[in-house]
């Protein structure tokens, strides 16, 4: 029987950079998850009788919310739900499943790299039929519905068994519990030269892959240990845990410190990588060689043709605006277009659908291609391994060669976390207020060439997204960018992105902090970060 339950709106259900992310306790309020799920369904047109994909990264509350989603999907007229066994689907695997099943869309339950557990974070994200995150016009509609919602529909029914693979029914809706790993692993095998990678591993090439007790564990064990023959134990922290073992599943130099230290040790493996809560981010570290996400995008784009899935070359490269310009130089050399989008994978979907870009990437440790419509951590690791197997050089040698060819974009992101939201807003307002006066003025970073608030016009549908980050551009091509994170759940996080380009004949082996020191000082001078935030240094540098 379908119940129509009266409810009242919550004022805080506007999706951020990637869906709705809140503390678990916020989601545990009566009607909270239901309101948001109904607001998603109310924003859809034509979903009756269609397929919905449902899965998540296994974090605390995953299983409970899956039951709510299934009962509400049945009550709202979906014809079929595909659920990852145990409620597990990595974000890229969910994207693949949406695409291959012809689903109308999917609900992915994850707060990505944010920590999990009863006192930590949960999230719900809606992906559309191309497998990608809902574009802004959909998330705007969801936000509008959430503000006026007065009822939701849910089936009164027993919980569904999501642990046994097979089919069942929930009211008029069919439920299929599917293997979350196999089809995704097959997709990877179709793109990359598995025999070459397997041969290199058999020849003694060593790997350390940290799944951070999050969703990629089962995927990584299947692909790297079973299909590619890496020794058992290559995958570290490979069992998904609801609280990620009390860790923060964010593959950066702070939270993946153990992997970093192992890769810097005298007896380090040849290649190290980590992925995040829902498996879409990646961290790449060669022996004694950390690779920034922006550099990783550039190297992958420059060498993608070495992998069978990309042998025909790339149609274009897309990167988010704060991501360094390293990929731009690769695009220029390849004679293909480079697209600069706002932060958020959702902005790549149209370019990929239109066949304008093949590879996309972001400074926030995301890289991916047109094989799905999400960023994909394991994909990035496999493309690196394919390139290493063909070039038979170390990661450090490949980086040195890349910089000697294209020059080097020294790059760092400084995060000021947990600051008061009003203070963060005041900093951005003050900065916006002085943009017009900055060009031509000198500071520690050099002379400001131009300053603006990034706006994006999507070349496929002409939709416009404004206020996507403040850019201070210098005469020598250096940049400082300021924006507020859209994925946090507490206070505000100010992100300051700092970049300096040095040509192929310049100094290519500086320590990043030294190379960027004048620009770091300039960021403080221009934005008075310490004055606004009370912090004299960032909480995280990546
Ligand atoms: C999400 C988006 C990414 C974006 C990142 C950073 O990543 O999917 O496209 O780059 O947030 O967002 P922000 O700087 O606003 O915190 P994820 O991995 O959290 O889904």
- For ligand 1, is residue 59 a contact (CB within 6 Å)? no
The pairing of strands 366-369 and 479-484 is unpaired
- For ligand 1, is residue 294 a contact (CB within 6 Å)? no
Ligand 1: nearest atom to the Cα of 495: 14
Calculate the average pLDDT of the chain.
97
The answer to whether 7 and 475 have CB atoms below 8 angstroms apart is no
- For ligand 1, is residue 275 a contact (CB within 6 Å)? no
Q: What is the DSSP letter of 280?
A: -
Q: How confident is the model at residue 160 (pLDDT cuts 50, 70, 90)?
A: very high
Residues forming a β-bridge with 16 = 19
Find the helix packing angle between 293-303 and 326-334, rounded to 10°: 10
Closest CA to 100 of 164, 182, 44, 18: 182
Residue whose CA lies nearest to ligand 1 atom number 4: 344
The active-site residue out of 43, 90, 112, 364 is 112
Residue range 250-260, pLDDT digits in tens: 999 889 999 99
- For ligand 1, is residue 17 a contact (CB within 6 Å)? yes
Tell me how far apart the alpha carbons of residues 502 and 404 are, in angstroms, rounded to a whole number.
Answer: 10
- For ligand 1, is residue 127 a contact (CB within 6 Å)? no
CA of 362 to the centre of ligand 1 (A): 9
The answer to whether 128 and 50 have CB atoms below 8 angstroms apart is no
- Residue recorded with tokens 């992906």: 127
Tell me how far apart the alpha carbons of residues 39 and 6 are, in angstroms, rounded to a whole number.
Answer: 14
Residue whose CA lies nearest to ligand 1 atom number 14: 485
Residues forming a β-bridge with 178 = 84
Query: Distance of CA 501 to CAs 363, 475, 506, Å?
Result: 16, 11, 9
Ligand 1: nearest atom to the Cα of 343: 10
- Check for a shared fold between 2-180 and 183-406: yes
Out of 3.30.310.50, 3.20.20.20, 3.40.50.970, 2.60.40.3880, select the CATH number for domain 408-541.
3.30.310.50
What is the helix (H) or strand (E) element at residue 70, kind and residue range? helix 62-75
Domain 183-406 has CATH 3.40.50.170: no
The answer to whether 126 and 37 have CB atoms below 8 angstroms apart is no
CA of 2 to the centre of ligand 1 (A): 36
pTM for the model stands at 0.96
Ligand 1: nearest atom to the Cα of 486: 15
* Ramachandran class of 276: left when φ > 0, alpha when ψ lies in -120 to 50, beta otherwise: beta
Q: What is the DSSP letter of 140?
A: H
Please state, as a whole number, how many other Cβ atoms lie within 10 Å of the Cβ of residue 146.
23
Ligand 1: nearest atom to the Cα of 19: 20
- Least confident range of 81-85, 247-251, 399-403: 247-251
CA torsion angle 62 67 68 74 (round to 10):
140
Residue whose CA lies nearest to ligand 1 atom number 2: 344
Catalytic residue check, 296: no
Closest CA to 82 of 138, 165, 171, 182: 165
Please state, as a whole number, how many other Cβ atoms lie within 10 Å of the Cβ of residue 477.
16
Tell me how far apart the alpha carbons of residues 147 and 503 are, in angstroms, rounded to a whole number.
Answer: 51
Which of the listed residues 344, 378, 469 should we mutate to test ligand 1's pocket, taking the one with most ligand atoms within 8 A of CB? 344
Average of per-residue pLDDT across 171-190: 98
Per-domain residue ranges for the chain?
2-180, 183-406, 408-541
Please state, as a whole number, how many other Cβ atoms lie within 10 Å of the Cβ of residue 405.
12
Residue range 319-359, pLDDT digits in tens: 999 999 999 999 999 999 999 999 999 999 999 999 999 99
Residue range 482-533, pLDDT digits in tens: 999 988 888 999 999 999 999 999 999 999 999 999 999 999 999 999 999 9
The answer to whether 282 and 377 have CB atoms below 8 angstroms apart is yes
Residue range 257-298, pLDDT digits in tens: 999 999 999 999 999 999 999 999 999 999 999 999 999 999
Q: What are phi and psi of 451, to 5 degrees?
A: -145, 130
Q: What are phi and psi of 91, to 5 degrees?
A: -60, -45
CA of 19 to the centre of ligand 1 (A): 10
CA of 490 to the centre of ligand 1 (A): 15
Tell me how far apart the alpha carbons of residues 497 and 321 are, in angstroms, rounded to a whole number.
Answer: 10
- Residue recorded with tokens 């900055």: 438
What is the helix (H) or strand (E) element at residue 327, kind and residue range? helix 326-334
2-180: what CATH class? Answer: alpha beta
CB-count burial class (<10 Å; 0-12, 13-18, 19+) for 423: middle
CA of 380 to the centre of ligand 1 (A): 17
């Amino acid at each position: 029987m379908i119940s129509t339950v009266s409810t009242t709106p919550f004022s805080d259900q506007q999706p951020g950079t990637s869906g709705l992310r809140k503390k678990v306790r916020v989601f545990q309020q009566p009607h909270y998850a239901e309101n948001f799920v109904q607001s998603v369904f109310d924003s859809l047109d034509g979903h009756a009788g269609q397929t919905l994909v449902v899965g998540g990264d296994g974090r605390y509350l995953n299983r409970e919310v899956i039951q709510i989603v299934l009962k509400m999907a049945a009550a709202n007229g979906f014809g079929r739900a595909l659920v990852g066994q145990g409620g597990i689907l990595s974000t890229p695997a969910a994207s693949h499943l949406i695409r291959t099943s012809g689903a109308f869309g999917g609900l992915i339950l994850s707060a990505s790299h944010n920590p999990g557990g009863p006192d930590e974070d949960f999230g719900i994200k809606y992906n559309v039929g191309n497998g990608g995150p809902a574009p802004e016009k959909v998330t705007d509609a969801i936000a509008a519905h959430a503000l006026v919602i007065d009822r939701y529909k849910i089936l009164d029914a027993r919980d569904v068994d999501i642990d046994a693979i097979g089919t069942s029914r929930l009211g008029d809706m069919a439920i299929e519990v599917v293997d979350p790993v196999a089809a995704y692993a097959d997709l990877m095998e179709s793109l990359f030269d598995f025999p070459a990678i397997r041969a290199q591993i058999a020849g003694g090439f060593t790997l350390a892959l940290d799944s951070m007790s999050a969703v990629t564990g089962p995927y990584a064990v299947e692909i790297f240990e079973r299909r590619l023959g890496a020794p058992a134990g290559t995958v570290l922290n490979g069992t998904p845990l609801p609280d990620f073992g009390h860790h923060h599943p964010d593959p950066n130099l702070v939270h993946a410190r153990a992997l970093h230290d192992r890769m810097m040790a005298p007896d380090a493996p040849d290649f190290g990588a980590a992925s995040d809560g829902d498996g879409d981010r990646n961290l790449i570290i060669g022996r004694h060689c950390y690779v920034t996400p922006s550099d990783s995008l550039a190297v992958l784009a420059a060498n993608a043709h070495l992998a069978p899935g990309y042998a025909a070359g790339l149609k274009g490269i897309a990167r988010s605006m704060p991501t360094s310009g390293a990929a731009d130089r690769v695009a220029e050399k390849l004679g293909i277009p480079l697209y600069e989008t706002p932060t958020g994978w959702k902005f790549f979907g149209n370019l990929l659908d239109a066949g304008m870009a093949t590879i996309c990437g972001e400074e926030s440790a995301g890289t991916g291609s047109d094989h799905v419509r999400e960023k994909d951590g394991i994909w990035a690791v496999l493309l690196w391994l394919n390139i290493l197997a063909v070039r038979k050089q170390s990661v450090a040698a490949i980086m040195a060669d890349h910089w000697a060819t294209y020059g080097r974009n020294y790059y760092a992101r400084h995060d000021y976390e947990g600051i008061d939201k009003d203070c963060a807003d005041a900093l951005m307002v003050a900065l916006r207020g002085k943009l017009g006066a900055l060009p031509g003025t000198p500071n520690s970073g050099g002379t400001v060439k131009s300053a603006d608030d990034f706006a994006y016009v999507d070349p496929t549908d002409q939709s416009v997204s404004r206020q996507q980050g403040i850019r201070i551009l210098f005469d020598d091509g250096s940049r400082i960018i300021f924006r507020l994170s859209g994925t946090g759940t507490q206070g505000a996080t100010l992100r300051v992105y700092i970049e300096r380009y040095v040509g192929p004949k310049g100094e290519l082996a500086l320590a990043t902090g030294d190379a960027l020191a004048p620009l770091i000082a300039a960021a403080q001078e221009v934005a008075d970060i310490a004055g606004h935030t009370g912090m004299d240094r960032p909480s995280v540098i990546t």
